[in-house]
Structure formats: structure tokens, C-alpha cells
Amino acid sequence: MKNYVLLAMLLAGAACSRGAASKDSVTAQASGPSGAPRISATSAGRASASNGPRTILFLGTSLTAGYGLDPDSAYPLQIQRMIDSAGMTYTVVNAGVSGETSSGLLGRLDWLMRQPFDVVVIETGANDGLRGISVDAMRRNIHQTIERIRQTRPAARIVLVQMEALPNMGKAYTQHFRDAFPQIARTSNVVLLPFLLDGVAGRSELNQADGVHPNYEGERIVARNVWKGLKPLLR
């Protein structure tokens, strides 16, 4: 229950912070259309797709953007360092946006897919749960996102991150929301990672002063959570 209480607070903060500077870039590679984020990557990402490393694209909310943290402390950039330490040739691109819903992600997808990528990690739906958006609508948005990625980048590996809904939405909604992610993963044949904030949500010592976003220590745990599931796919 503590996990869900903190998640409720976190999502509220994410929704309020939409459009605010979230410190989510290391090197600005391009500016998107009006309202779209500036995509960021490590310095290795400046190499061309043909000569440089393969690319992992992270799509998500403020949790992926690294809200409230130094740019290189967001979990995707921490994963870049894990990749480098493992001697793998991948470059991380962080395209997280604070407050984004699954429909918002779908709306900016065409712009995001202008760049090449080999693996895409999708963290979405949390703000849908905050707003009480229909789980069926969220499911359709995620399905469409996956299918459009597959049509445009058929060789890309697709990874979906499990998210959770708020307990105050009622037991039926919460369970329906939770079940949607493994259902999407099965029907779309994508890899499902565990709940992003596993081991972090509900623990004040692992969250920022606002009580809603992981602090530096908490973000390191989030990075390890994602890396544990992602690493086998990169070998």
C-alpha cells in the first residue's frame, strides 16, 4: 500500500510539472515540434547510426526524464554507464517528458521515430492512472504505440515497463490497470519489465524532499531495476 500512496503523490507532481524544465538532457541533439522535449544522449550518441553504437531510446514520463536530478543522474543515463562498463556498444537517448499520458506519447511518436534506434523502452500510463483515464483507452494507446514502432522499425526490440494505478481509483480499476501491462506484453509480444519504482516507492529516504520523485540513491535503485531486465536483451 505504501508503494501506491507514494505513486499517487509522484504522479500528481509529474502532472503539475508538465512543461517545466526537468533537467533531463546531457547533450541536446534536436528540438522537437512545439511542446515536444529536447532529446538527449551521451556524447557517444553523436556518432552516426552507420558508424557509431546501436541506440536505446527511452520513452517515458518525469520518472524517465529524471525530474529534480542532475542531467546525468536520470536512470537512462546511469544505464549508459552500466552499458559502458559492460563493454557493450549501445548509446542511450532519453526522451522522457514530465506529465505525459499514453495518448501524448502516441501523439509525438512520429517525430521520435525520425531517428534510428535498435531498442526502445516504453514507460507510460502512470499519468493515465492519475487522471482516471479508461484502462481500455490506455491499452489501445500503448498497443498503437507498439505497432507503429514495429511498422517503422521492424527490427527494433521493444520493452514495456510495468506501472501501477492509484488505490483511490478503486480496487477494480487498480487491478484492471495492473493487469493491462502483462496483457499488452503477451498480445504484442514485447518484453515486460517489473514496476519501475520497486523498492523505492513508499520509502522517504529514497525520495526527494517533495516526497514524490526518487532522489539520487533512489534513482540508482531504479536504474538497477531496469538494468536487470534490460541487460540480457543487449547481449
DSSP state of 47: S
Q: Is 176 a catalytic residue?
A: no
Catalytic residue among 17, 25, 40, 213: 213
Catalytic residue among 17, 62, 98, 102: 62
With b for 16 or more beta-carbon neighbours within 10 A and e for fewer, the 198-220 pattern comes to eebbbbeebbbeeebbbbeebbb
Catalytic residue among 70, 110, 136, 210: 210
Q: Is 34 a catalytic residue?
A: no
Q: Is 213 a catalytic residue?
A: yes
**Distance (Å) of CA 161 to CA 21, 46, 50, 68, 225:** 24, 27, 29, 21, 10
188, 146 Cβ separation under 8 angstroms: yes
Beta bridge partners of 214: 207
- Label residue 37 exposed, middle or buried (CB < 10 Å: 0-12, 13-18, 19+): buried
DSSP state of 207: B
Active-site residues, by number, are 62, 210, 213
